[in-house]
Amino acid sequence: MQELTVTKFNDIRVLTTQQIADAYETESQVITNNFNRNKDRYASGKHFICLTGNELRNFRAKNQNDVLPNANRLYLWTKKGAFLHAKSLNTDKAWEVYDKLVDHYFDYQEEPSARIEDQSKKPSLASVNTAVSTIDRIFSRVGVDEMYIAAEAKRFYREAGYPIEIPLITDKEMMPKLYDCTEIAIELGIMSKSGKPHNQAVGDIIRKLDITDDETKTTAFSKNGHGDVTVQFLPSVVEKVKVWLEKNQYPTKIAFVDSKGNSKTRTVVYRE
């Protein structure tokens, strides 16, 4: 992902439609179409900000973005809006870029001091309970498994200063092994020509397989102090990918269809 020009509105980092499209390696019209088809999932002020009138004129005057001079409205996408667009595209590239956007763009200026460091900043238990209820509702809505929601709730209570001592099945030492596409690539030695794990090729293979809902897990995770969700796979999926490779004699070209419906291939090499 190329370095993005920082775009702000009311001191909040946002992205224009073109920036989202460039980052996710698609066309701005694809982003617009996905939004129009799923408008009921997007909330103004939460997922996007629509500028019109004086707000648009002031924004255009202060920013160097390529805003068409005759445009009568401009959509700016928040971190949560970027998540919904990644979910709509549902490509390995979009999810990979979304993680980078969270770490290196949207949350770049957040200071560690914003986290709870001492008892003087400890929130009330009632407010923490309310926050955990919100986490439960949001993660349940996007399909996160209950045990992973429990793990995220436990982490939240701990960081808020109310540690829960009851061990969970999701605690790291007891947690069932899950794999993302990069880890599957490493496990099976599926590499790009540059020698890096080819997670995109693994994603293409998985989409060709008969994967049951029970073999995928939408999990909550915390990275650099920020919570989010990701899709991971059980070991049985790793075995299915391995069997597919063997049946197809470890092909060096993996076919896939891009977001525009074009048939393409990815070149892979195999590490023993």
Do 133 and 149 touch, CB atoms closer than 8 A?
Answer: no
Of 84, 5, 17, residue with least CA distance to 50: 17
Q: What is the pTM of this model?
A: 0.42
For residue 214, what are its two tokens?
Answer: 């029970």
The whole-angstrom separation of Cα 13 and Cα 218 is 27
Residue 2, domain member (yes or no):
no
SS3 of residue 73 by DSSP: coil
Residue 111, domain member (yes or no):
no
Q: What is the predicted pLDDT for the residue at 167?
A: 54
**pLDDT beneath 70, residues of the chain:** 1-2, 64-69, 108-121, 142, 147, 165-176, 218-229
Tell me which of 106, 132, 160 is where a domain ends: 106
Q: What is the predicted pLDDT for the residue at 21?
A: 92
Tell me which of 49, 73, 106 is where a domain ends: 106
Domain ranges, residue 76? 7-106
Q: What is the predicted pLDDT for the residue at 62?
A: 78
Q: What is the predicted pLDDT for the residue at 61?
A: 79
Based on the domain organization, do 163 and 209 belong to the same domain? Answer: no
Cβ atoms within 10 A of the Cβ of 58, count? 12
Q: What is the predicted pLDDT for the residue at 110?
A: 47
Based on the domain organization, do 148 and 198 belong to the same domain? Answer: no
Residue 212, domain member (yes or no):
yes
Number of domains in the chain: 3
Based on the domain organization, do 163 and 247 belong to the same domain? Answer: no
The whole-angstrom separation of Cα 103 and Cα 107 is 6
Tell me which of 125, 144, 175 is where a domain ends: 175
Q: What is the predicted pLDDT for the residue at 220?
A: 56
Q: What is the predicted pLDDT for the residue at 102?
A: 85
Residue 260, domain member (yes or no):
yes
The whole-angstrom separation of Cα 155 and Cα 172 is 12
